[in-house]
Amino acid sequence: MSESDNQATSILLPSSKLAVYSKDPTTLEAAQGLEDDWRFARVRIAGEEGGVESAIQVYHEISSPDLIVIQTDTIDEGFTEKLGELAGHCDEGTSAIIIGPDNDVNLYRKLIDMGVSDYMVRPVSTEDLAEVVAKALIEKIGVTGSRLIALTGAKGGVGTTIIAEALACGVSDILGQKAMLLDTSGGWSTLGVGLGFEPSTTLDEAVRAAENNDEDSIKRMLHNVDERLQVLATGGDVMLEDTVTPEQFEALIDMLMVKCPTVIVDVSHSPAALQRCVITRANQIMVVSTPTLPALRLARSLIQEVRQVRGGDHGEVSLIINMQGQAASSEVSKNDIEKAMELSVAAYLPFDSKVFLNNESESKKLTEDKAARDIIDKHLLPLVRKHLAAAESSEQPEEDGGFLDGILGKLKKKA
């Protein structure tokens, strides 16, 4: 699997159902091992001893899951016909992965042409099965290639929101890619000030529109900063009340990630449940701190918790030190920071009140200021440039009706 495929599947997978049919104990063990992968926390996994005949019998009586994995010892005309029979009993949109005995390119192409999502050669490990299944599930909901980037602060006042704005402007203006910026803090959001718009909606209204699949309403809630950057114009929420549930917000993310290849979410100053929801699912997490001891101590604890939430995965967690030089005599040195944090700092941003505070107060895009643009290009964009380029170059799958349409179409041609 390519680097871009691995990056695209490093997210919490959507709620779905997976069934694995095999007579091989090794394969069934590999399927059971998926339950220990943090990405599969919401995937209901069923391992069944049997083959395509067993699946036909089961789905003749009940609805099929989102994805079926079938292992077979032989792939011949008889198996293909049984696969077609199985497709006839499956719900529209069900996807299939086949595990077979031969590493045959022509066989692989034949099965893919029939509508099968992927073909694997036995024996399969939990790791290999996880990547192929994750890719198939993400393709099914249409977010392959989209990247979710979460920013959170070690404490208030470290500048997380302005960095989120800077990153979004850099992705759109400097990298030339479409981006969308969200804030989970409800009525506490200051994005309207920094990007020059009046909040026209609330998080509650936005998630209700997503739950109802009301694309027209979502479109009206988006503020177009320019042709490549949009912001969800929330901020009209009541400040002293809870906003929305994680499940509701995730439905909103699902809708927006289909529409935009890069979604940047500022989760600072938001309820812990929303922070956890976004951080768990994000492809990339940026923790913002200042070089002062109180902020660094909180940043260290926060990064440890982020790693725990993500099942020990820390490859996509970056630490950004902001406002370096603001209070030089009270700041921890670079060497001491990296020793204490036990990781390399991804970026040090110099303190420049004119660049950041003045531009934000004037509702001016940071990339319109040369000094700010240089800081963004030099310090922030290197953190995302490689990942976004890989996501942009990954092929987008054509929409289809699952392997049912593919196989039935082939059988009709043969007849």
Mean pLDDT of 27-52: 91
Decide if pLDDT at 364 tops 90: no
Q: How far apart are alpha carbons 27 and 221 in whole angstroms?
A: 47
Q: How far apart are CA 122 and CA 138, in angstroms?
A: 23
pLDDT of residue 186: 86
Q: What is the mean pLDDT of the chain?
A: 86
Angle, alpha carbons 348-349-352 (nearest 5°) = 150
- Does residue 236 have a pLDDT over 60? yes
| Residue type for position 250 | E
Tell whether 153 and 91 lie within a shared domain.
no
Per-residue pLDDT, averaged over 287-312, amounts to 93
Tell me which residue range forms the domain holding 288: 147-393
What lies within 8 Å, CB to CB, of 147 at 6+ separation is: 7, 261, 262, 263, 283, 284, 384, 387, 388, 391
Mean pLDDT of 306-324: 86
List the CATH number of the domain containing 374: 3.40.50.300
pLDDT band at 409 (very low <50, low <70, confident <90, very high): very low
pLDDT given at position 410: 42
Check pLDDT > 70 for residue 269: yes
Total tally of structural domains belonging to the chain: 2
| Per-residue model confidence as pLDDT tens digits over 159-202 | 999 999 999 999 999 998 889 999 999 888 888 888 888 888 89
Q: In whole angstroms, what is the distance from residue 77 CA to residue 412 CA?
A: 15
Q: Is 134 found in the same domain as 203?
A: no
Alpha helical stretches, state H, 191-292: 191-195, 203-211, 215-221, 246-259, 272-281
Q: Would the pLDDT of 47 be above 60?
A: yes
Residue 16 scores a pLDDT above 70: yes
pLDDT value of residue 414:
40
Task: Calculate the alpha carbon distances from 272 to 39, 69, 200, 247, 276 in Å.
Answer: 20, 37, 25, 13, 6
Residue spans of beta strands (DSSP E) within 283-354: 284-289, 317-324, 347-350
- pLDDT for 390: 53
Shared-domain flag, residues 236 and 217: yes
Tokens 């042409």, located at residue: 113
Q: Do 122 and 158 sit in the same domain of this protein?
A: no
What's the pLDDT band for 15 if we cut at 50, 70, 90?
A: confident
Higher pLDDT among residues 251 and 395, named by residue: 251
- Highest-confidence segment of 29-38, 238-247, 351-360: 29-38
Give the 3-state secondary structure of residue 99: strand
What is the per-residue pLDDT across 284-299, written as a single tens digit (0 to 9) for each?
Answer: 999 999 999 999 999 9
Cα distance between residue 360 and residue 195, in whole Å:
7
Give the pLDDT of residue 8.
52
Better-predicted residue by pLDDT, 390 or 96:
96
pLDDT band with cut points at 50, 70 and 90 for residue 362: confident
In a shared domain, residues 160 and 100: no
> pLDDT-derived band of residue 277, with 50, 70 and 90 as boundaries?
very high
What's the confidence (pLDDT) of residue 30?
A: 97
The per-residue pLDDT for range 90-114, each reduced to its tens digit, is 988 789 999 999 888 888 888 888 7
| Pair (183, 282) in one structural domain | yes
* Structure confidence at residue 315 (pLDDT): 65
Average pLDDT over residues 33-49: 89
Q: CATH number, domain at 42?
A: 3.40.50.2300
Q: Quick one: pLDDT band at residue 6, thresholds 50, 70, 90? A: low
Average pLDDT over residues 352-378: 83
Question: Percent of the chain scored above 90 by pLDDT?
Answer: 52
Check pLDDT > 60 for residue 2: no
Strand partners, 284: 149
**DSSP H helical segments within 265-319, as ranges?**
272-281, 293-309
Which helix H or strand E contains 17, and what residues bound it? strand 16-22
| pLDDT band (50, 70, 90) for residue 356 | confident
**Cα four-point dihedral sign 40, 44, 46, 51:** negative
Residues 181 and 97 placed together within one structural domain of the fold: no
Q: 252 and 207: one domain?
A: yes
The least confident of 238-252, 375-389, 391-405 is 391-405
- 229 and 256 inside one domain: yes
Crossing angle of helices 293-309 and 272-281, in 10° steps, is 60
Residue 402 has what pLDDT?
A: 58
Quick one: pLDDT band at residue 389, thresholds 50, 70, 90?
A: low
In this structure, the answer to whether residues 375 and 233 fall within a common structural domain is yes
109 shares its domain with 163: no
The proportion of the chain whose per-residue pLDDT surpasses 70, expressed as a percent, equals: 88
What gap in Å lies between CA 41 and CA 35, rounded to an integer?
A: 7
Residue 398 above 60 pLDDT? Answer: no
Q: Are residues 131 and 154 in the same domain?
A: no
